[in-house]
């Protein structure tokens, strides 16, 4: 049994408990004792204020290969699946970050990047997508200058676990299974720079169009899976009825634009994506063409983002 005098005082107890913690400041942006954010694994100054974000690690590596050769790049792969490459392009510091897929991963990126970088930021997503326009084939790069909406599954629209009586009590039966949001715009100046650069590099293979982000690659993108009750046969037709100008569909760009628009002006964002498949024709891009567009479009976006003025001191 310990005597009272043998117990550590409050300050010592706090230090002991802090050293044992997985991270600190759990109600804000959690960081470890070295100041690294939890999911990206980064701390200042490892991340540049200009960021190209991609889903695929191999796309990030192709863009990293375009960095200036006289500056050794910083590389970090986090325990949560993010890979960061920071170097320079035309003498301007820039990072490429692969996130994996989905809005939650984009949420981690934007928030933890904002917590890591001082001053204004620019983020451009260069993703992959499907085309929901019959006239836009695989091998096209679409700059989402008009912005992005989001399509999300509404669980209450499916009833209360199949119990129609309980569903009627909660009003679930009157709710649509999918929700279509309003459009979030990109920063107009950054989006214009991305579009101009893509057009100069890719010519007719680049065009502009509205994007729709979704919370699933399957249900809310209208893919039919007989193993689940998805009620998604009309997802694409309803999208076209609401937004006849919609061209692309993917999973991340809406979250990027939404958070940038909520950043009190500190984050400028834009998005573009390579069309990998057309949902009407079912045609799919070749691996060779995808890799060529990752490099060519990546170079165009590197030029756009490193030329974009951030107003740094």
Question: How does pLDDT run across 78-117, given as a tens digit for each residue?
Answer: 999 999 999 999 999 999 999 999 999 999 999 999 999 9
Q: What burial class does residue 91 get, using C-beta atoms within 10 Å of its C-beta: 0-12 exposed, 13-18 middle, 19+ buried? A: exposed
Residue 5 confidence (pLDDT): 47
| Alpha helices, DSSP H, located in 218-286 | 235-242, 253-261
Residue 167 confidence (pLDDT): 57
Give the 3-state secondary structure of residue 149: strand
Residue 3 confidence (pLDDT): 46
Residue 311 confidence (pLDDT): 82
Report the C-alpha gap between 94 and 68 in whole angstroms: 10
Residue 257 near residue 210 (C-beta atoms within 8 A): no
Residue 10 confidence (pLDDT): 55
Residue 209 near residue 248 (C-beta atoms within 8 A): yes
142's tokens = 């679409």
Residue 139 CB contacts under 8 Å (≥ 6 apart), including other chains: 205, 274, 275, 285, 289, 293
Residue 212 confidence (pLDDT): 98
User: Which residues does the chain have with pLDDT short of 50?
Assistant: 1-5, 7, 15-16
Give the 3-state secondary structure of residue 235: helix
pTM, 2 dp: 0.90
Which neighbouring-strand residues pair with 122? 50, 268
Residue 16 confidence (pLDDT): 47
Residue 256 confidence (pLDDT): 98
Q: Which of 58, 307, 312, 56 is nearest to 194 (CA)?
A: 307
Q: Which of 254, 269, 250 is nearest to 113 (CA)?
A: 269
Residue 1 confidence (pLDDT): 44
Cα separation of the two ends of the chain: 60
Based on C-alpha coordinates, what's the Rg of the chain?
22
Q: Which of 48, 81, 80 is nearest to 67 (CA)?
A: 48
Tens of pLDDT, residue by residue over 162-214, are 555 555 555 555 578 999 999 999 999 999 999 999 999 999 999 999 999 99
Residue 45 near residue 119 (C-beta atoms within 8 A): no
Phi-psi region of 159 (alpha: psi -120 to 50; beta: other; left: phi over 0): left
């Amino acid at each position: 049994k310990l005597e009272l005098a043998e117990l550590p005082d409050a300050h010592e107890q706090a230090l002991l408990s802090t050293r044992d913690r997985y991270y600190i400041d759990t109600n804000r942006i959690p960081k470890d004792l070295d100041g690294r954010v939890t999911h990206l694994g980064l701390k200042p100054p490892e991340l540049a204020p200009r960021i190209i974000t991609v889903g695929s690690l191999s796309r990030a590596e192709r863009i990293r290969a375009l960095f200036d050769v006289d500056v050794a790049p910083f590389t970090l792969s986090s325990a949560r699946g993010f890979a960061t490459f920071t170097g320079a392009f035309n003498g301007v510091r820039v990072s490429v970050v692969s996130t994996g897929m989905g809005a939650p991963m984009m949420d981690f990126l934007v928030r933890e990047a904002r917590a890591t970088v001082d001053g204004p930021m620019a983020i451009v997503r260069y993703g992959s997508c499907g085309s929901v326009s019959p006239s836009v084939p695989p091998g096209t790069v679409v700059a989402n200058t008009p912005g992005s909406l989001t399509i999300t599954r509404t669980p209450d629209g499916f009833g209360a676990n199949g119990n129609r009586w309980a569903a009627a009590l909660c009003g679930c039966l009157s709710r649509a299974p999918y929700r279509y949001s309003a459009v979030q715009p990109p920063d107009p100046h950054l989006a214009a720079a991305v579009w101009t650069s893509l057009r100069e590099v890719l010519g007719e293979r680049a065009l502009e169009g509205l994007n729709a982000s979704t919370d699933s690659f399957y249900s809310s993108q209208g893919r039919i899976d007989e193993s689940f009750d998805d009620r998604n046969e009309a997802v694409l037709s309803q999208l076209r009825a609401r937004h006849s100008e919609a061209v692309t569909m993917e999973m991340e760009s809406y979250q990027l634009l939404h958070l940038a628009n909520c950043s009190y002006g500190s984050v400028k964002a834009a998005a573009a994506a390579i069309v990998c498949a057309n949902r009407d024709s079912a045609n799919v891009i070749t691996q060779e063409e995808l890799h060529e567009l990752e490099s060519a479009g990546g170079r165009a976006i590197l030029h756009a983002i490193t030329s974009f003025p951030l107003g740094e001191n």
